[in-house]
Amino acid sequence: MKFEQTLLDFLMRHQEKHNRTFHFLVLMDAIVSAAKRIELYYRTGALKDNLGLAGSTNVQGEEVMKMDDIAHEIVLHYLKSTERVIQVVSEEVEEIIDVNKGGGRYFVYFDPLDGSSNVAHGLPVGFMFGIAKKNLDGSMQGSEDYHLRAGNEYIAAGMFVIPTGMFTLALRDAGCWRFHMDETSTFVKPVRMLLPDVEKKWELSYNAGNTETFGKNIQKWIAENQSKYVFRYLGALAGDFHRLLANGGMFMYPAIVNHPDPKKNRPQGKLRLMYEANVVAFMCREAGGDALDESGTPILDIKPKTHHQRTALYVGSKKLIDSVQKALKA
Ligand code: AHG
Ligand code: MN
Ligand code: MN
């Protein structure tokens, strides 16, 4: 019989190799449990009315929970149960949530359900997370904003594409790895992800309907470059980035600065820094790529001022990111 290496075995060896504790395994086990439960709800959601809108009621008169709320509750439950998480930031909750009365080692920033517009159709969505660690020497703990970590302080970031059974995890300075769910619902078979150099399959992924609302420099860049690449857009960052990691190219969600209705401009972009942009930027760096915001600043260098801060995002193969950076700075 052939057995594939499990995620937990892979992580155990990683921690041992770097002389680290197994606390991280407890955290990752909770994150995986949460992902599996979200996946279960999602697969059976339409039958159970879980894909409806929050605030509506089902035929039994019970309140229907939006999938985003269900996913949030699931993740929070499993993170709490570890007793190793200090605080979390969830897209679904305005405030930072204290999880373990100030105890614990980790901060977790998550988008429990990415790609909500796919939910009604049962199409792929994501659960994305970034993890930072408390300074165990005690430094900075008096500082008010010690939970507002820049992406380059994350120790890990990852995403599940639900309901496909695919999980990608990047560990700081130890690569970006993809796992598959096997017949026993165990994540197995680590495969190292590196963005391919061959440009033949490179793709561009962005909401093309927004093109005329982008900055002039980016519109010009698109006009000059897009015919060289394949165009793909699912509308869920987790799914779009999942495909991009294997094929190479660039995902972008530029700032909206030329909307015909100026109230609809989004000069700060749409995506959230701490649990969307940083997550893919971190994985991308470990896969040999790069990520920028609209000013050409590396995403991972941005020190967040608030936990739900938005950012424009350009992420993918280095060559394309360098080329966009020139356009942004022109
Ligand atoms: P969420 O469902 O968590 O709010 O995120 C949706 C995000 C992201 O996943 C996706 O790439 C982007 O919104 C799509 O936006 P458009 O519909 O504007 O293209
Ligand atoms: Mn999202
Ligand atoms: Mn979301």
pLDDT along the chain (330 residues), means of 10: 96 94 96 97 80 67 76 97 95 93 90 92 94 75 69 96 97 97 97 96 98 98 97 97 98 98 97 98 98 98 96 98 95
How is the chain split into domains, by residue range?
7-192, 199-328
Provide the strand spans (E) within the chain.
85-90, 97-98, 106-114, 125-133, 154-162, 166-171, 176-181, 187-192, 203-205, 230-231, 249-253, 271-272, 290-292, 310-311, 313-316
Whether 112 is in the pocket of ligand 1, judged by its Cβ within 6 Å, is no
In degrees, rounded to 5, the angle at the alpha carbon of residue 310 between the alpha carbons of residues 212 and 106 is 150
Q: How many CA atoms lie within 13 A of 115 on its CB side?
A: 26
pTM value surpassing 0.75:
yes
Q: Tell me, yes or no, if the two domains 7-192 and 199-328 fold the same way.
A: no
In one-letter notation, the amino acid at residue 208 is A
Predicted pLDDT of residue 44: 87
Predicted pLDDT of residue 253: 98
The answer for residues whose C-beta is within 8 angstroms of residue 21's C-beta and 6 or more apart is: 15
Owner of token pair 């801060």: 309
Predicted pLDDT of residue 61: 63
Three-class DSSP category at 295: coil
Predicted pLDDT of residue 143: 54
Domain 199-328, what architecture? 3-Layer(aba) Sandwich (3.40)
Whether 293 is in the pocket of ligand 1, judged by its Cβ within 6 Å, is no
CATH 3.30.540.10 fits 7-192, yes or no: yes
Please give the Cα distance from 280 to 266 (Å, whole number).
20
Predicted pLDDT of residue 58: 61
Please give the Cα distance from 135 to 141 (Å, whole number).
7
Most informative mutation of 75, 89, 276, 278 for ligand 1 (most atoms within 8 A of CB): 276
